[in-house]
Structure 1
Amino acid sequence: MCRGQWIGLFILLMASGSVVRPLVAQSPPSPFRVYLPLVARQGPEAPPGVDFGLVFVTSAEWPADVARFERARQVGARWDRWPLYWSGVETSPGVYRWAHVDQALRDALAQGFEVSLILMGTPGFYAAGGIPGQLPIGGSVLRQSNGGTPRRAPTPPSLAIAAANPPAGLYAPIFTDGTDRPGPGKPINPNNRWAAFVYQAVARYRPGGLASQQVAGWPSGRGVRAWEIWNEPDLTFFWSGTATDYARLLKVAAIAARQADPQARILFGGLAIFEKPNWLREVLTALQNDPAPDLRDAFSWYFDVLPIHSYSYAWQTFRYLNQAKGTLQSFGLVKELWVNESGLPVWDDYPGPTWDPDSGYRGTKEEQAAYVVQSAAYAIWLGARVIFHFMLHDDCGNGPEHHDAFGLYRNTSPAPCHPSDAGARPAAAAYRLVAAHLPGAAPLWRWRSTQGQTDWGACTGQVEWFAFRRPDGARVLLAWTRLNVPATITVTAVASQGIVYDVRTGAATTVRPTNGVYTFSLPPATNYNTPTLCNPTRQKQGEAAVGGIPLFLVEGP
């Protein structure tokens, strides 16, 4: 939706697609009545249904047991995402050791999960300049405050696994005939180390690949089709090369992967955005100048999916996706969008810093549950196809000394870090709700209960509203406050009764309208631990980083 479609669009709420009814929202000190400025999605423009996933259900370094897979399945996750570290399998030049990846991937596929593997991490003997760097087995980009500037927590040596340097031979021809042009049976040039690795990985793990022939218990017909090319290449911590280097990395990977599996899907490396906000444009500019434009176009600019990462600030998920779509469109591109990392670590539960309620970029257990719902709503509205939460358990976060509690569940005991009782946090119930009610749901409308929008409405509006239509015809209505002020809202019913779900517990309460109208009270937003676009100094007023506990109303079948 362009900005102009917001302006002057004051119409009634579409309750069924043909019947229109009013809605009233009020917040202290004085009530107000407005007609909805409707931003609707209908017909063929509606995005496809969304799937939900978790980061690090399993991994080659920390393989999951049956109980861990079962927890992921119970909350509704269908996807698992984890890194396949190049340095972890090519232990010396040309020598590959796959056994640990074989086991973890076999088990994830056998448990019914789709898997997105991240190809990343240059072996030290192939590092070609740049700055020395090491990548963590687990962890995230936890935005910790350092004078208001985001930074990445240092990774302890015990978790280090690979370098961020571009690999040697990256610009060598992909094929042995001295070209980058694929053809039936053409062999990969071993001097292009990255091409050789990508080809080996995809040939092994595609459906019907080498692993299915060599690994006992490999599930028939199963394999990997989603290949992410590096993680957060727009962070120097992960990728020390230039945007042009990354464009080449992406090109080589796409061509080598499709040589091994013509149905391989290539994901651009998930974007952190905050350090290098123009990275996507810089990479696309490099690809625009590809010396073989016919090859670039034949390979759809060398990627099929553009993922973003978003933490701690719920509306940022909307902002990042919207910016990414705009950048793609400026190059004439339309790509599938994913959110393949999102989350809010908690401070008020072990192993979080329970002594620090103002801990930067964190929240309470209840705020984490609210974040799950809100970030998902923003992502689905912008058309995200897969949404990953970071992560199932706390694991080690950014390292055992950083008190990172990202998980839907606390760790088990024993565990490599922070052993605990494997207890569920409220966010597990919230995740279960969105995974149960929003797959396949079509966006109907989005609204903020204030006229006059600036910067896509980021700085205005007390109550955020979303309506989605499930495939069975039920309406899912989500609403929450954005400010530290409670609100009372009323909305016209579209059925004789509805169910309100508590996003913190999953408890269901049947509600019936009075004279065709529901009335609900929304608690104030309380999370000011993260700077926001409209509240950069974290004042406990104005826009909160996470809205208040959302209303989750389902009406219909």
Structure 2
Amino acid sequence: MAQPGHRSLRRALLLLVSTALSAALASALCVAPSQAADRIPREFFGMDVAITSQGETSWPALDVGAVRVALSWRSVEQSIGAYTWNDLDAKVATAESHDAQPLLVLEGTPGFHATGKAPHYGSAPRLKAYRSFVRALVARYGDRADYQVWNEGNVPIFFDGTPANLAAMSRVLGRATRDLAPSAQVLAPSFVIRGSGTLREVYRAYWSQKIGRFSVGRFVDAAAISAYPMEPEDPEDALVLTQWAQRVLDKKGFQGPLWASEINYGASGLQPTIAPIPMRRQVAYVVRTYALHASAGADRVYWWRWLPHITVNTTLNNGKGGLTRAGKAYRSVEDWLVGTRPTGCKVAKGVRTCGFRLDKQTTRYVSWTRSGQTRVVVAPAGSRTKTKPSGATSRVRRGDRVRVGLTPVMIETRSRRDSRSR
């Protein structure tokens, strides 16, 4: 469970960047010192991967550190008290075989455990039944997995209950992991927070819940949002949502991290996207999503999803199991960021640049223009190489003029070992 002070430095960084971003379109973001940030782990790069009941999947040709696994409760418990784990066993084993940490995302209340007059997939469950199921679940998989209380708790097709229901469920799952898998992480329900103020009110209401004398945050390790922006919006807009969610957590005193448990662009609910974009922009969106969220201190970002889907506009999979250019961009930005410490972002003359320090000598700078207009940046001292999201790398030296536009470019610098500030 989250304890006071848990990752407080990263949360302080997120708050600092959040406060500055609203002015960044015209000026510069505050640049936080690199020592205030943790190194970016593999698990930061998450993905939703559809694994079949036999454990079969077209696994991405990517180093996915964490995988989101949808867990339909009604598929496991098809008669009262009888659990069939074969399908989920295969899914967890498949994730483990690829060295990806599975996050089991609960949804789908069995009709015989549903509350309300018209039971459906998103019915709030009876708490006693939920307790029995999650204790059996955690007893089976232990710390091999992380667990999410529920999927999208403010979207009626997934959940029609109240914030109080979700808080009670959070305590049940939190206690189950405390007793049976103390090192597993418990993720709070995810919430959609774009658009409607009603959606945001449910998020606020959940984080305002108290159970007895304890706040709901005592029973979970991390908060979660579905970070989809509105249909025509971009990664900078998605980050604004994440920062808004973080401010709510700060006001409520929650000390754990915030995860983007789903993100993509052009999402139109369950309808085909009305905002298709060219592949060049898809490439840019993937890199910008991870560079911005890493700089802001987010702990995990799960791309939705590996398989193509008509409801979103940015696709990593070419439909045959291979990588699109956007998929290759995911691989590149992961290579650029894992193991580094974010140093913050700034905006100057329309160019946004985020820095990532690998070690005492090596820093990587990722630059782009949100407008898509081409600008020229001057390579800084110690510049060695510039790399595109395609993986193409070329030499660059201090003072070289580097063209930057919609597609981000990474410049790697290396200082001399014997250089000292005097």
TM over 0.5: yes
Q: State how far apart, in whole Å, the 1-side matches of 2:365 and 2:125 are.
A: 49
Distance apart, 1:64 and its partner CA: 2.8
| Equivalent residues in 2 for 1:229-244, closer than 5 Å | 229-244=149-164
Q: State how far apart, in whole Å, the 2-side matches of 1:498 and 1:345 are.
A: 37
The answer as to whether partners of 1:437 and 1:470 remain within 8 angstroms in 2 is: no
Q: Does 1:57 align with 2:49?
A: yes
Amino acid at match of 1:478: V
Residues 177-219 of structure 1: CA distance to partner in whole angstroms, max 9, x if unpaired? xxxxxxxxxxxxxxx0000100000100114xxxxxxxxxxxx
The answer as to whether partners of 1:490 and 1:519 remain within 8 angstroms in 2 is: yes
Which one has the largest radius of gyration?
1
Q: Does 1:435 align with 2:334?
A: yes
Q: State how far apart, in whole Å, the 2-side matches of 1:272 and 1:6 are.
A: 21
- The residue number in structure 1 matching 2:381 is 494
Q: State how far apart, in whole Å, the 2-side matches of 1:202 and 1:261 are.
A: 7
- The residue number in structure 2 matching 1:120 is 107
The answer as to whether partners of 2:347 and 2:353 remain within 8 angstroms in 1 is: yes
Q: Does 1:387 align with 2:272?
A: no
Q: State how far apart, in whole Å, the 1-side matches of 2:407 and 2:113 are.
A: 49
Q: SS state of the match for residue 278, structure 1?
A: helix
Q: State how far apart, in whole Å, the 1-side matches of 2:290 and 2:73 are.
A: 32
Distance of aligned partners of 1:363 and 1:324 in 2 relative to their CA distance in 1, 3 Å threshold: same
Distance of aligned partners of 1:476 and 1:3 in 2 relative to their CA distance in 1, 3 Å threshold: closer
Give 1:306's match in structure 2, choosing from 204, 207, 223: 223
| Equivalent residues in 2 for 1:124-523, closer than 5 Å | 124-129=111-116, 133=120, 163-168=121-126, 170=127, 192-207=128-143, 223-224=144-145, 226-274=146-194, 275=196, 276-287=199-210, 290=211, 292-293=212-213, 296=214, 300-311=217-228, 313-344=234-265, 360-394=274-308, 397=309, 402=310, 406-412=314-320, 422-449=321-348, 462-471=350-359, 473-491=361-379, 493-495=380-382, 497-503=383-389, 505-513=390-398, 517-523=399-405
Amino acid at match of 1:424: L
Distance of aligned partners of 1:89 and 1:472 in 2 relative to their CA distance in 1, 3 Å threshold: farther
Q: State how far apart, in whole Å, the 1-side matches of 2:322 and 2:22 are.
A: 47
Q: SS state of the match for residue 223, structure 2?
A: strand
Residues 241-283 of structure 1: CA distance to partner in whole angstroms, max 9, x if unpaired? 1112211221222123322222231101222212401222101
Amino acid at match of 1:113: A
Residues 520-557 of structure 1: CA distance to partner in whole angstroms, max 9, x if unpaired? 2223xxxxxxxxxxxxxxxxxxxxxxxx1112222239
Q: State how far apart, in whole Å, the 2-side matches of 1:429 and 1:360 are.
A: 25
Q: SS state of the match for residue 489, structure 1?
A: strand
Q: State how far apart, in whole Å, the 2-side matches of 1:132 and 1:512 are.
A: 65
Q: SS state of the match for residue 269, structure 1?
A: coil
Amino acid at match of 2:300: V
The answer as to whether partners of 2:356 and 2:364 remain within 8 angstroms in 1 is: yes
Amino acid at match of 1:550: P
Larger helix percent: 2
Amino acid at match of 2:209: A
Distance apart, 1:486 and its partner CA: 2.7
Q: SS state of the match for residue 277, structure 1?
A: helix
Q: State how far apart, in whole Å, the 1-side matches of 2:135 and 2:278 are.
A: 44
Amino acid at match of 2:207: L
Q: State how far apart, in whole Å, the 2-side matches of 1:411 and 1:519 are.
A: 38
The answer as to whether partners of 1:121 and 1:164 remain within 8 angstroms in 2 is: yes
Distance apart, 1:98 and its partner CA: 0.5
- The residue number in structure 1 matching 2:11 is none
Unaligned runs of 5+ in 1: 10-33, 134-162, 171-191, 208-222, 347-351, 354-358, 413-421, 451-461, 524-547
Distance of aligned partners of 1:339 and 1:4 in 2 relative to their CA distance in 1, 3 Å threshold: closer
Q: State how far apart, in whole Å, the 1-side matches of 2:82 and 2:289 are.
A: 43
Q: How many residues align?
A: 388
The answer as to whether partners of 1:75 and 1:435 remain within 8 angstroms in 2 is: no
Q: State how far apart, in whole Å, the 1-side matches of 2:361 and 2:161 are.
A: 49
Amino acid at match of 1:280: Y
Residues 455-514 of structure 1: CA distance to partner in whole angstroms, max 9, x if unpaired? xxxxxxx222211112464211111112253322224x231x4222221x221122223x
Between the aligned residues of both structures, percent identity stands at 22
Q: State how far apart, in whole Å, the 2-side matches of 1:6 and 1:88 are.
A: 44
Q: State how far apart, in whole Å, the 1-side matches of 2:85 and 2:29 are.
A: 53
Distance of aligned partners of 1:3 and 1:445 in 2 relative to their CA distance in 1, 3 Å threshold: closer
Q: State how far apart, in whole Å, the 2-side matches of 1:279 and 1:403 are.
A: 24
TM-score by length of 2: 0.83
Q: State how far apart, in whole Å, the 1-side matches of 2:29 and 2:318 are.
A: 40
Unaligned runs of 5+ in 2: 1-15, 416-422
Distance of aligned partners of 1:304 and 1:372 in 2 relative to their CA distance in 1, 3 Å threshold: same
Distance apart, 1:57 and its partner CA: 2.7
The answer as to whether partners of 1:448 and 1:464 remain within 8 angstroms in 2 is: yes
Calculate the aligned-residue CA RMSD, in Å: 2.9
- The residue number in structure 1 matching 2:78 is 91
Q: SS state of the match for residue 130, structure 2?
A: helix
Q: State how far apart, in whole Å, the 2-side matches of 1:40 and 1:512 are.
A: 24
The answer as to whether partners of 2:40 and 2:341 remain within 8 angstroms in 1 is: yes
Q: State how far apart, in whole Å, the 2-side matches of 1:89 and 1:498 are.
A: 54
